[in-house]
Amino acid sequence: MKMTSRIVRSAQTASGTPAVMSRTDDRLTAFRNLFLLSLPAILVLLGGKTASADGVDVDESVLAAQNERIEVINGAAPSVVAVFGAAGGGGGSGVLISKDGFALTNFHVTEPCGDFMKCGLNDGKLYDAVIVGIDPTGDVALIKLLGRDDFPFSPLGDSDALSVGDSVYAMGNPFLLATDFSPTVTFGIVSGLHRYQYPEGSGKNLLEYTDCIQVDASINPGNSGGPLFNAKGEVVGINGRIMFEKRVRINSGVGYAISINQIKNFMGHLKSGRVVDHATLGATVATDWDGTIRFQQVSIDSEAYRRGIREGDELVSFAGRPIRSVNQFKNVLGIFPKGWKLPLTFRSGDQTASVQVRLQPLHQESELKFDKPELPDGHPAKAKQPKPPEEYADLLEKKDGFSNYYFNRQAQKRLLSGLKEWGDFGGAGASWGISGSLQNGSSYRITLTPKVAGLDVAERAAFLQPLTAADRLIDEPVGTGGLLAALHHLKLLLTEGSAGFADFYYLGTEPLDGTGPMIDILMAERAGTQTRFLFSVETGRFVGIDFRLDEFSDECEIRFAEPKQLSSRKFPQSFKARSGGETFATFAVEGLSVRAKSGENE
């Protein structure tokens, strides 16, 4: 059909939907350009100091600001990615965040592209890229560009340091115009902060933008997944949603970016190659008649309930932020992954309490399945499916619950190698004896064999945990969350590695005990229990265990001191055991005996 004279150009959005721009848009653009060209003359009339630039007198401060913008843009542009589906489907933008090729984009950009995609940089080259991890709820995906180990990248900034009115740059590939892979740049300000955008659509559309950044910098279809830079050229957000006028999918001056601080919280989980989920507290809040934020419902199965929170209690602060509205609570809760442990302060009557609460998953596992069914041989559509690049085919491993299990295996290897500091425990699985003294001076001995775990404390009865397949693991000693079962799992890790558990994977990162330094987590599941093995992100040192008998129980938390030499191996010089916020005991370790086979000591 012939176009009318009013329509002068069109383009395709990232999803392939046509978008049209009219002559009215051109007139507005022309007016803006005329104003910018006239600005130096206006400044002269206003009496500003001027400098000569191409024969036009321009105020020195204007030139300085312009040069600063150009310098920031030139520095950031090499890291901006134009994303294209390998078979021509989908497309959008992204940004490189590390020299080894990791890049951020939107989940809704990568989903139609498949597991492999093509990515262009402003060096004019097209690179292969593979999916790493996805966050369908937060609309974030992590991909890895391939073919180099020295990619240009941009540093991550602090989105919490933004203020309304700050200058920002949106860069990317609007309407997929970057055929030479050179990004489009738009300039604007932060229009609003901590915006909450309700989920859209139904079915598999889970996108929920929480605590996001509102900007007036032009963001159009194709900009999705691209970076929002602050005035220093740091990435402070990933551009995603746009507010459209009716029937016309072009920028209306209201765009939203996912805050980079939210993405930082999820970064370790995304690098795990998993399909990651957001969190719920297991409790809802509402505004009381006097403006107080109170708990409206509290699930009796939640950790919040076990920490003493009840309906009607006042929510004072969560994750270190004071809570003054329901919207603010949703914003804060939405920036954390499921399973994180975070501080919460509440008031019940005239008593105020501060507790640590482990967050529950927001969705059922079935809601997060995004794998497309495998087409049978001979199906017409199968011949059209792009094959992964042969040289990179081994970088993709499919597994339930994972977008790419290959990256999870790499993380497992990295963390397990850190256990070598303790020495070689391989094959030493017959029995262990750990002895020493408690903080009150009493002596103790822990025995770990394949059939039983025991704790003997001087002047006290012994504690026993049967370990045969028919025996259920229990909270022994009572109130510890299952200390003896947790130590049995420590023995399995050191002697058998991942083979000692029914399921074993890298979970991601979180702050130690809610407020401490970041830790890496290996998750092990066996006979209905879950064990988190904790490693320092900074040093790689094995620092503790969080063991849970079941989802309705408080964890047994074991924290290790620095290891010391004990015979031919190392073992923590002490460890502390606690559960439900109460410390059970601190064990000073003075002896370690290991028997590799029955009747044989090492």
> Is the distance from CB of 208 to CB of 278 less than 8 angstroms?
yes
| Partners of residue 151 on adjacent β-strands | none
Angle at 232 between CA 228 and CA 238, to 5 degrees: 15
Looking at 108, 278, 488, 489, which residue is catalytic? 108
Looking at 139, 475, 513, 546, which residue is catalytic? 139
How far apart are the C-alpha atoms of 87 and 117, rounded to whole Å? 8
96 vs 428: CA distance, rounded Å: 45
Q: SS in 3 state form for 401-428?
A: CECCHHHHHHHHHHHHHHHHHHCCCCCC
Cα 575 to the center of its chain, rounded Å = 30
H or E element that contains 143:
strand 140-145
Q: Is 489 a catalytic residue?
A: no
Residue 156: beta bridge partners? 235
Contact assessment for residue 149 and residue 132, using Cβ atoms and an 8 Å cutoff = no
Q: How does DSSP classify residue 10?
A: E
Structure tokens at 439: 């903080």
Strand partners, 154: none
Cβ neighbours for 85, distance < 8 A, ≥ 6 positions apart: 91, 112, 113, 114, 117, 118
Give CA–CA dist 411/519, Å, rounded: 13
Distance of CA 506 to the CA centre of its chain: 13
- DSSP states along 357-371: EEPEESS-GGGG--P
Catalytic residue, chosen from 218, 224, 259, 574, is 224
Other Cβ atoms less than 10 A from the Cβ of 312: the count is 12
313 a catalytic residue? no
387 DSSP 8-state letter? P
* Cβ–Cβ under 8 Å, residues 331 and 279: no
224 counts as catalytic = yes
Strand partners, 190: 215
Name the residue with tokens 């491993």.
Answer: 397
Q: List active site positions.
A: 108, 139, 224
